[in-house]
A and B are shown apart, each in its own frame.
Chain A
Amino acid sequence: MSQKIALNEIAHGRSGDKGNHANIAIIAYTQAGYDWLRDHLTADAVAQYFKPMLPSRVIRYEAPNVLGLNFVLHDILAGGASRSLRIDTQGKTLALTLLRMPIDLPANVERMLREPPSRLGR
């Protein structure tokens, strides 16, 4: 079995709502990480991961200028901010859930890790 790491080793992200849809932006730390994500983190893979939450379809958009992939998950919010009976009505935490996804360890993972952390304002 191949060795696994969590997606958050090579990417960060943020999620939010648009009515009953959610968007999840996944942002690679490096160009090598973005290239790997573009090949491996497909719309199908994300749809499969979130299958228990019943998205009707998942669309992936690319923003290579910021090393970002933006996933729009249709009808995943069980009614959205106004009607959902879930605790996370707006999908605010979905990015963190996706960032926990186990991925196969990329061969060149050392080129995908975050550069020495940049503290804000220091």
Chain B
Amino acid sequence: MKTIRIGNGCGFWGDSVDAPIRLAQRGRLDYLTLEYLAELTMSILALQKQRDPEAGYAGDFLDVLQRLTPVLQQQPNLKIITNAGGMNPSACARQAKVVLQKAGLTRRIGIVSGDDLLPRLDALLPQHPFTNLDTGELLATITPRVVSANAYLGAKPIAEALAQGAQIVITGRVADASLTMGPAVHEFGWLWDDWDRLSAASVAGHLIECGAQACGGLWCNWRDVPDWSDIGYPHVDLTDDGSFTISSDAGPGVNRETLVEQLLYEVGDPLKYLTPDVVADFTSISLTTVDERTVRVSGAQGDEATSTYKVSIAYRDGYTASGTLTIAGRDAVAKAQLCGKAILQRIGVAVDRSNIECIGGGACAPGVIDPSADPPEVMLRVSVHDRRKDVVERFAKELAPLVTSGPPGVTGYTTGRPAAREVFAYWPALIEKNAVESKVEMLT
């Protein structure tokens, strides 16, 4: 029976740069997927590309690729699927080719684009309002401030690139599950209306897309992870009927608890998990323990995909800064509150938005859990958000003076003035699929 092994070695930009190498070395993979794009990553990449037309992709990928070259020499059939292309998949592919050439490797690189809607935004707007899914507002209210607008593409262009012989596929914005579904459909020749198999592939993709989170990362029963220095990254062994096993060769593997936590991670209605290619029903699957590091997933069912792609838009929304001080001694919480208020008042003007937090005093769920005792110290964190950069910079200068002009016990001013950084706010929307055209190119 044909089985293909797909492993994910990167769950976000900033994840371990060693994990993909270890996974590829030990995992005997057919496909290595690498996921780099969080919701707001594209806005940062869009600005990089504005400044430099050859920039705008996840640079970490080139470092990982360079370090993977010995593995690629030993495993000529290993294919790589990544969304590292960000806002500039072509430039990313050209640089990837340079990295490979330096190592004496030639690989056919597929480039998937068409997700970037920003150049077409003015033309699209009359027919497509990009209504904010959360607030119902129309995009026209903020159009001049938009810095990026990307549709989440599906698995079809990835499968197409593989069909054209690509050994490395570099995409812009695609749904995370597409990185897994693309190779699955290519290998097994599944039809694009085979909803149950597509659903199985999206379950597999969802379970591995956050890397170590399937293999003990974030697990509530964290005491049962034997060695945190050797956490695993997951792979799936997919078969033609859509069922698969999931495990990891590096690290301690997976179990039912780690997988169910990840199955429901960042999910809305588990009956209807929306991807560009299928509506997956997460309540249809069965999880069976195979051994102490492996679980079998079967029975996935799905329904026809919706007629829209999700679009992630980012727009300029003023400036923000956060600074911290440590407050010790009796009544640390009360003193921290007093310091926070003093800082905001000393700015001299009212800021648009602000927040005073006492970390160590229940700040992660403010008001829900009260600290029972008087903690020996808390960290005061003050944050502001304002349209005016100079006001935010003025705020940044008001933290240090508290060391001499505040109550006793103020310390920990060691990191310098916090920098004012630009806010790129998130605007989720939908667009009809027929208004978006994905593009597949080859670089050899």
Contact = CB atoms under 8 A, between A and B. Distances in A.
Contacts of B368: 49-50, 52-53, 97
**Which secondary structure dominates where chain A touches chain B?**
mixed
Interface in B280-325: 282-287, 292-293, 314, 317, 320, 322
Given A120-B226, A121-B292, A81 B220 contact: no
Contacts of B423: 82-83
A100 B362 CA distance: 13
B375 interface: no
Q: How large is the interface on B (under 10, 10 to 19, 20 to 34, 35 or more residues)?
A: 35 or more
Contacts of A75: 134
A121 B266 contact: no
A121 B426 contact: no
Contacts of A88: 363-365
Nearest to B383: A85
A25 B367 CA distance: 21
Contacts of B221: 12, 114, 117
Given A14-B218, A121-B293, A86 B270 contact: no
Contact of A17 (B252, B266, B270, B425): B266
Nearest to B270: A63
Nearest to A17: B266
B425 A64 contact: no
A10 to B, nearest CB: 12
A87 B426 contact: no
B257 A68 contact: no
Nearest to A88: B364
Contacts of A86: 355, 357, 363, 366, 383
Closest 10 CB pairs of A and B: A52-B367, A121-B252, A25-B264, A120-B252, A85-B355, A12-B220, A85-B383, A16-B266, A14-B261, A97-B365
Interface of A: 8, 12-14, 16-21, 23, 25, 27, 49-53, 61-68, 70, 72, 75, 78-83, 85-88, 93-97, 99-100, 114, 117-122
Given A12-B221, A14-B218, A120-B215, 14 more contacts: A12-B261, A19-B39, A27-B260, A52-B366, A53-B366, A61-B271, A63-B264, A82-B39, A86-B357, A86-B383, A97-B365, A118-B292, A120-B252, A120-B254
Interface of B: 38-40, 133-134, 215-216, 218-221, 223-226, 232, 251-258, 260-271, 282-287, 292-293, 314, 317, 320, 322, 353-355, 357, 359, 363-369, 381, 383-385, 423-426, 428
